[in-house]
Structure formats: structure tokens, C-alpha cells
Amino acid sequence: MELSVDQVAQLIGGRVEGNGNEQVSRLEKIEEATKGSIAFLANPKYTEYIYTTEASAIIVSNDLEPSREIKSALIRVEDPYTAFSKLLEEYEKLIKPVKTGIEEPSYQSKSSTYGENVYLGAFSHLGDNVKLGNNVQIYPNTVVGDNVVIGDNTILYSGVKVYANCRIGASCVIHSGVVIGSDGFGYAPQKDGTFKAVPQIGNVIIEDHVDIGANTVVDCATMGSTVISSGAKLDNLVQIAHNVEIGRNSAIAAQAGISGSAKIGENCQIGGQAGITGHLSLANRITIGPQAGVPKTIEEEGGVYFGSPSMDHKDFLRMSIALRKLPDLVRRVNELEKNS
């Protein structure tokens, strides 16, 4: 891809300062960029690099005020990160052509149906009554169980397993190793100390524009549905238990676990390795910090919680400061007791 800086600005809705005729052909990080490349500045801690980078152009915020001369052309936009993401999308289309067609060997049940421009990779398997929309891509070694429905433009990368009766919406991206619809962790303790498995007869419903990272597991419901709502983003290695509901546009980072029947509101953010207890609810726009443990329902919207058990982040910060003072306090108490 070779474009002028002016063409790039037009593509992302930006305004050029500097040489708009300069040609760019690569996307690079600002701290490593070389001539002929384009970079972006979104994180303030990288600001110093705009004065030293060799990039031919830099995507920056409209309100950036340089403290000294910048060699590169600037493309000013409202949100540099979003603008650069759009540029990456266009670049990806060039380096990753959309695959179509059916590779062999692969298996499609005679009762399965699929729309136009579908890609079915080698050793993929479509069970009975599977329905695929247009432009669906099923990469090699992926298994789609009986009665599964997948919407238009959804991608399932290699090694994904979708159990029977699940529903996946349009424009979703499911990365390698994801398991959708496996049994929830349901066991009934017996008098003799053993556990009897409770049949898990529900399914998983994944709505539109959901991304699920590699090796994440979404369990089916005991009855009814486990639901991942539109726009939700799950990182790698996330565990979603049976009957969980994830609200629209919520994001969950790696190694977090959501226990059975928990309900996560809309636009929530859950940090890595956080744990959410079962059968509770989080209101909309809740932020849960990394490694936090949430033991009870949070009803007030917009809060930020850290620690285990979780607490308001301001209380957590005060407690952390007090904890750092604890060794000195213990020493002083010991000295007072010795001298008393």
C-alpha cells in the first residue's frame, strides 16, 4: 500500500500539517518508525517520540500543541487511536485477502446450508441443520455442531469448537481454541460424598459484533441460554460459566472468570484475573480492577472497584496507603510495649 499523506488523511477524516505529498507505504510504531512509514500518537507517555521519529507522517490529536519543531507531517484527528485502527483495517484487507470456497477434505452435512462467498477450511466439520450466512469464514479444524446458526461476515478461526444448538450473530470474530457451548460446571453433591452431574440442556447465544479471544470458554446454560450481547469483547483465556449474561459493549480481560448465572451490565470493564461470584449482578458502566474479587451485587452505575473482596477504588487506595505504614506501626507498638 502506497498512499500520499493527503490520501491517508482523506481516508481517516484528518487534516494535514506539513508535506501532504509525501508517500507512505508502511504502518509502524512511533518509537521505531522509519522514513516512508506512518505512525500515531495516542498515549501521552510517547509524546517525546514525535520530535525524534523518522516517520513520514504521524496521526495526532487535534489538540496536540508541540513544544518544538517536528520533522514529520501531522495528520490531526479527533481520536488518533480510532483513526489508526481504521487505517489498520484497510491495510489488513490488502495483506489478508478474504478467503472463499470449500477446501478438501472437509465435511458438510447434507442438511447444512450456507450463503454466498463462504469459506470452509480443510478438516472443518458442519453438523446437521447448520445454517451459515453470507461471507462466513470457517478456518481449518473447526467443528460446528448440529443446529448451529452463524450470521453474516462472522469468522471462526482454526480449532474453534461450537457445540450443538448455539447461535452466533453477524460480524463476530472467534479466535483459535475457543469452545462455545461446553457443559457448565453443575454437580449435585451426594450423601456418599460423590458428585452427580446435572445435565446442561441449554445453549449459548452470541449476538452481533462480538469478539472472543483465543482459548476462551463460554459454557452452555443449564436451562435457557448463556448470552453474550452485541459489541461485547472477551480477551484470551476468559471463562464464562453457565447462564451468565454479558451486557452490550462490555469488555473482559484475560484470565477473568465469571461464575454461573452472574449478570454483567452494559459498557462494563473487567480487568485481568478478576473473579465474579455467581448469581450476582453488576450495574452498567462498572469497572472492576485486575485480580479483584467481586462477592456481591453492585447496584449503582458507573463505579470503579479494586481489591479482593472488591471495594470502591478510593477506599482501596486509602487502605493500600495504610497497609504500607503497617510495619512501622507494628515496630512502634512493640517499642511502646517494651518500654511500658
Report yes or no: 87 and 81 within 8 Å, Cβ to Cβ: no
Cell numbers linked to 188: 449435585
Largest CA distance in the chain: 89
Cβ contacts of residue 65 below 8 Å, gap of 6+? none
Q: Which of 133, 124, 135 is nearest to 99 (CA)?
A: 135
Q: DSSP letters of 129-178?
A: T-EE-TT-EE-TT-EE-TT-EE-TT-EE-TT-EE-TT-EE-SS-EE-TT-
Long-range contacts, stretch 233-236, CB < 8 angstroms, 24+ apart: 234/210, 235/272, 236/175
Q: 175, 209, 242, 279: which is the annotated catalytic residue?
A: 242
Give helix 80-95 / helix 5-12 axis angle, nearest 10°.
110
- Distance from the Cα of residue 151 to its chain's centroid: 19
Cell numbers linked to 301: 452505575
CA gap 141, 164 in Å, rounded = 17
* Strand, helix or coil for residue 335: helix
Q: Clarify whether 242 is annotated catalytic.
A: yes
Residue 178: CA count within 13 A, CB half-sphere = 29
Residues with a catalytic annotation lie at 242
